[in-house]
Structure 1
Amino acid sequence: MTAKTIIKEFYKSDALMNASTMESFLHDDFVLEWQSSKGFFKRNKKEVVEFTSGLSASYIDWKIKIKSLIAEKNQVAVRYTHFVKTIENPREEMLLAHFFVIWEVKDDKLFRCFQMSQLA
């Protein structure tokens, strides 16, 4: 499977809201380096899976709109917008944040993630 295909499958899946799905996509040595509007975060596989569990407790639905997806060998760059519906307001879709991500794939798993985001 190509790196681009793996990334497309990742974003089509429920991985951002389902910890077990997220875990299935991540390499055992996975590292996330995230520069957000709140600061810099570095997380390993376990921490990302735990973070995903927290998201599913806050949001009842989500949608990703990919604007760009470019692949070269085992790296894929993605620019997307993330929308959510909260438990408090399930009828209103809200813009959560804009993201730019560079993924590195190894052994058909997500191995490294360099991510930048800005809250809406």
Structure 2
Amino acid sequence: MTPKEIVIAYYENILKPDMIRPYLHPQMRVQWTGERGYLELSADELLAMIAQFSVRYASARFELTHIIEEENRVAVRYEHYVCTLEEPGKEILFSRAIGFWRTKEEKMYFGYVSSYRVQ
């Protein structure tokens, strides 16, 4: 897979920890700046956070709006949509984000993500 294909597959399956684990390098690190401030996460910590998020919402999806690949680096811009447990039929725009990813050995190795909540 190309780095771009790896990143696309990651975002297509991001809310399914078992599905994205194969795309994550064992030494993966993510530096994330968002509503909670600055977080630095390992692959296992990222998967745990995703699992927590998955039980808080009836459904969620990510829509990639931009994606650029250069060698083993990929930049993305995306929007995150959710349906709340209280209103499972009403999808809302939850957040917007950009991510810069580096791959190694055909896996996601390092990422920097900056996100902000829309609501």
TM-score range, shorter chain: over 0.9
Matched residues in 2 for 1:51 and 1:42: separation? 12
Instruction: Output the amino acid matched with 1:7.
Output: V
Q: 2:49 aligns with which of 25, 48, 51?
A: 51
- Between Structure 1 and Structure 2, how many residues are aligned? 118
Kindly report which structure 2 residues correspond to 1:24-103, keeping only aligned pairs within 5 A, or say none: 24-103=22-101
* TM-score after normalising by structure 2: 0.93
How far 1:22 sits from its partner (Å)?
A: 2.6
Runs of at least 5 residues in structure 2 that lack an aligned partner in the other structure: none
Matched residues in 1 for 2:22 and 2:83: separation? 25
**Cα RMSD for the two superposed structures:** 1.1
How far 1:44 sits from its partner (Å)?
A: 0.5
Instruction: Output the amino acid matched with 2:95.
Output: A
Matching residue of 2:5: 5
How far 1:9 sits from its partner (Å)?
A: 1.8
Tell me which stretches of 4 or more aligned residues in structure 1 moved more than 2 Å.
none
**Identity rate of aligned residues, in percent?**
26
Matched residues in 1 for 2:112 and 2:81: separation? 20
Runs of at least 5 residues in structure 1 that lack an aligned partner in the other structure: none
